[in-house]
Each structure stands twice: as C-alpha cells, then as structure tokens.
Amino acid sequence: MSYRYLPMTDADQEDMLATIGVENKEELFEDVNGTIRLQRPLNLQPALTEMELVKEFEQLAAKNTTMKTTPSFLGAGVYHHFIPSVVSHVTSRSEFYTAYTPYQPEMSQGELQAIFEFQTMVCELTGMEIANSSMYDGHTALAEAAVMACGQYKMKRQKLLISAGVHPEARDVVKTQAKGPGLTVEEVAVTSGATNEEALKQVLNEEVAAVIVQYPNFFGTIEDLRQLKEQAEQAGAMFIVKSNPLALGMLTPPGEFGADIVVGDTQPFGIAAQYGGPHCGYFATTKKLMRKVPGRLVGQTVDEDGRRGFVLTLQAREQHIRRDKATSNICSNQALNALASSVAMAALGKQGVKEMAYQSLQKAHYAKRKLQEAGCKLPYEGPVFHEFVVELGQPVKKVNELLFEKGFIGGFDLGQIDASRNEEMLVCVTEMRTKEEIDAFAEAIGGILS
C-alpha cells in the first residue's frame, strides 16, 4: 500500500482500470487536451508515514499560543470562560455527537429534551416568554430578528435603526441580510460609549420597524434599555436587544424592560473560543410572535399514557424546505453547541452563573482601576460589565506586540474597525483572570507606556 491514509491499493487501481478497459491512467485521460494537462509530477513532498505525520503536527501545534497558558484580555464577542469538565463528557456521547435533526420524536427524546432545556434556560436568563432551539450564532440571530420585525408590519415599515454600539460584525450581517427584502439599515451614533438617545429620537418615525441595540454594547457600556424602549414604543417600532447571556446573570434582563426580541450568542456557556467558532445563537421573544420565530421550537407534551414527552412544534417541516412559505432561511440549528451550553448552565446552576458574572464584573472594574493607575485614560464613564475601553496614547497594534513578548494576549485594537481609534483598546476581563495576572498586565502596559 503506497499511502496509509487512502483505502485504495495499487491492486484496486489495476482492477478498476481493467474493468474500464484501459491499461493505465495515461490512457484514461488521453482525451484531455495535452495543453491543459500538467506535464510534470505535482510539486509535493514525499508522503510521510502516520507516525511521522503525527509527530510533525504535534510540533506545529506546540508553536501555538493558547489561553490555557497565556493570560488573555481579548474579548470583543468571543470570551474565555470556565467550562465545567462534564460538558465534554456529555457532548462526546455518540447519541448526541452524531444526532441529526430530531424529526422523529419517538426516536429522539433525549435530543429533544436537551433542546427544550436550552430553550427554558434562555427564557429564564432573558426574561422572555419563548425561545427557539438555537441558531448559527448571535450575529445571524440578530439579522433574523431584524427581518422578522419588518415582516410583522407586512414590510410596510422597511427601515431598521441599529446602534453603532452593536458589534460591527453583527451590523454587517444585518446589512447583508437586509439587502434581500430591500430593507434600509441606518446607524445611530454612539456618544460617550452609549447610544445617543437624542440622535435616535431625531430619526425615529413611522417608517422604522425596529430599534436594535446591544446590552452590554460592543464598547462594554451598559445601555439604558428603559429609555431606549420608551422611544421605540412611542414611534410604534419594535425593540430588539442583542445581549451577552452571562451578563444577564447580573443585569436586569431585557424582557423586564419590554424588549420584543432578545438575541445573542451562548458561547460564554460551555463553548470554547476555538478560533472564533462555531458558536450557538439564541433567539427569544414573546408568545405573540412565536409563529414567526425562525428555526425550530421544541414543545413539551404527554403521550397517551400520560408520560412526559417532547416534539418539534408549531412549525411543520415544510416550513424549512418550501421557500414561498418559510419565514426564514434558517433550516438547521446548533444542537451540539446548544447542548454544551445547556450542560454548562445546568452544571453551574443559578448561583454559579451569577458568581461567574459577579467575578467578571468585579475583576473588570479592578483591572480598569489598575490600568488607569498605570497611565491609561478612560474615555467613557458609563457602567460596564466585563469589557471597557482604554486610551493608550500610542498604536494598540504596537502595544499588543510588546505585550505578547511579555506573555500576555492584549485587548482588541479598535483601530481595526475605525482607523481614527488606533490608540484605543477594548479590554476584557473574565472570571478566568487572577488578581496576579491583572496586576502583571497593568504593570506591563505601564512599562510600555512610560
């Protein structure tokens, strides 16, 4: 056998050629014009044995910097949080790991129950009445919410107002999704780190289908949802909130402020950073809107013997395969990652989620004070959860390079989204960072700035 990784042997090749009726591969391809055929062997290194290949990959992997060994202060939508070990044990079970969409409830009770529990916990965190069985990620969930809001007005309202405090990548996804039905997306400026309420008031009118904000927003500031909701309501527009679910372990949930739709990403619960994906989006709303919800809903019922059971409900399978009848292009869900988040939330429990959120908040505020003492300026005074912006007085890119040499992963360079902000860093501090790491990080930045 020439190559360990391929199931086809030389003898297999000879048998196939004989069956076709040609003597060799050259004869097989002789009808292909010689001018477009490569007339030399591929420029590839000799094949390695399995043992040699494993060793080479291990050597390459050892060059990676990971958050397990290097303190990270990088957030901006993907966060380093504690993941209970039970998560991987449950998600690695074959009945979950290889499960497909549970169309046959009698064969999929375990999968359906796991999704139902996910929906339930999302509702508890967000203060909403109903949640779907997950979406691709928080950004696509927001785009679906925006289009659904316009659909509620039968597309008579075709304008969306989105705060510049919403994650820039999420704003891009919303704008892309809006092109299909021909919707208009207008950004509302941010002042002092929060949505400018006066600017919002100026552009709100009967053409606006929804006002979209993030809580806490991309810059870490906690938006005043009560005031924003009142403005949206006065104009007859829906109120959509994109929220970090862990923050809701400490903050008043958007549902209590009257949000119509709450979306986000459950990555903080049980899903590793893993190069930025895959993640798991959640979509929560009111009972009034439940028949318009994209994706799937799992309901609880009883069988003919009175035993508890679970089924896909309210939406027939045809919803997801008939374009003219569908309310969304979403036809799948992140069941495995939703399971990971469910297991993580269940393992942590109500108090554990609150403790994670509390530690993240307290450590972020401690880091904020230490960085200010180290010479950083704080451009915003508003309340924050676990992210905040600091001004360094020099390019963040260079500071991050020096921090990396000192053994730290620095914060997000806001110059990547706005060239005029290349001296501003978005710093994230979660429960994973220790006091010693925060002190050393602040000291390192202080040394660089001085």
Residue 326 has pLDDT above 70, yes or no: no
Establish if 57 belongs to a structural domain. Answer: no
Q: Are residues 122 and 32 in the same domain?
A: no
For residue 356, being part of any structural domain is answered with yes
3-state secondary structure of 185: strand
pLDDT at 391 over 90: yes
pTM of the predicted model as reported, rounded to 2 decimal places: 0.89
- Structural domain span for residue 412: 350-449
Residue 65 lies in a domain: no
Classify residue 417: in a domain, yes or no. yes
Say which range, 86-95, 112-121, 328-337, 431-440, has the weakest mean pLDDT. Answer: 328-337
pLDDT for 354 equals 97
Of 321, 344, 367, which marks where a domain is finished? 344
Average pLDDT, the chain: 93
Contact 387/426 with Cβ under 8 angstroms? yes
Q: What pLDDT is stored for residue 1 in this prediction?
A: 44
Predicted confidence (pLDDT) per residue in 165-214, tens digit: 999 999 999 999 999 899 999 999 999 999 999 999 999 999 999 999 99
- The reported pLDDT for the residue numbered 101 is 75
The pLDDT > 70 percentage for the chain reads 96
pLDDT of residue 296: 85
Confirm if 383 and 221 have CB atoms less than 8 A apart: yes
Among the listed residues 356, 386, 371, 347, the one whose alpha carbon sits nearest the alpha carbon of residue 424: 371
Per-residue pLDDT tens for 392-408? 999 999 999 999 999 99
What would the pLDDT profile of 53-81 be if each residue is shown by its tens digit? 899 999 999 999 888 889 999 999 999 99
Tell whether 291 and 388 lie within a shared domain: no
Q: Is 23 helix (H, G, I), strand (E, B) or coil?
A: coil
Q: Structural domain tally of the chain?
A: 3
pLDDT of residue 352 exceeding 60, the answer is yes
In a domain, 98, yes or no: yes
Residue in the block written with tokens 């060994």:
69
Domain end among 313, 344, 375: 344
Q: Does position 30 have pLDDT exceeding 70, yes or no?
A: yes
pLDDT at site 320: 57
Alpha helices in 186-275 (DSSP H): 197-203, 225-234
Does residue 130 lie in a domain region? yes
Give Cβ neighbours of residue 450 (< 8 Å, ≥ 6 apart). Answer: 375
Residues 378 and 329 occupy one common structural domain: no
pLDDT in tens, 103-128: 788 888 999 999 999 999 999 999 99
Kindly report the length of the chain.
Answer: 450
Q: Which of 344, 370, 398 is the last residue of a domain?
A: 344
For the chain, the straight-line distance linking the first and the last C-alpha, in angstroms and rounded, comes to 63
Q: Are both 133 and 164 inside the same structural domain?
A: yes
Question: The domain that contains 119 carries what CATH number?
Answer: 3.40.640.10
Provide the token pair at 411.
Answer: 């914060």
Determine, yes or no, domain membership for 69: no
The SS3 call for residue 413 is strand
- In three-state secondary structure terms, 135 is strand
Looking at this protein, which amino acid is placed at residue 150?
C
- 358 shares a domain with 330: no
In terms of Cα–Cα distance, which of 95, 209, 86 is closest to 147?
A: 209
In terms of Cβ atoms closer than 10 Å to its own Cβ (0-12, 13-18, 19+), residue 80 is buried
Distance in angstroms (rounded) separating the CA atoms of residues 215 and 212: 10
Residue 291 has pLDDT above 50, yes or no: yes
Does 338 share its domain with 358?
no
CATH number at residue 378: 3.90.1150.10
DSSP track, 276-341: G----EEEEE-GGGGGG-SS--EEEEE-TTS-EEEEE-SS-GGGGT-TTT-S-S-----HHHHHHH
Based on the fold, state whether residues 358 and 331 are members of the same structural domain: no
Confidence at 420, pLDDT banded by 50, 70, 90? very high
Of the pLDDT bands very low, low, confident and very high (cuts 50, 70, 90), residue 336 is very high
Alpha-carbon distance 219 to 302, whole Å?
46
Same domain? For 204 and 293 the reply is yes
pLDDT tens for residues 261-287?
Answer: 999 999 999 999 988 889 999 999 999
pLDDT band at 40 (very low <50, low <70, confident <90, very high): confident
> Residue 4: its pLDDT value, please?
59
CB within 8 A of 325, min separation 6: which ones? 318, 319
* Nearest-10 Cα torsion for 228, 229, 230, 235: 100
DSSP characters for 62-90? TT---TTTS-B---TT-------THHHHH
Tokens of 444: 């390192």
Same domain, 145 and 258: yes
Residues 332, 223 share a domain:
yes
Task: Give the pLDDT mean for 320-326.
Answer: 62
How far, in whole angstroms, is CA 182 from its chain's centroid? 26
Q: Are residues 416 and 330 in the same domain?
A: no
Residue 78 domain flag? no
Q: 371 and 336, same structural domain?
A: no
Return the bridge partners of 212, or none.
162, 240
Q: How confident is the model at residue 308 (pLDDT cuts 50, 70, 90)?
A: very high
Average pLDDT over residues 362-387: 96
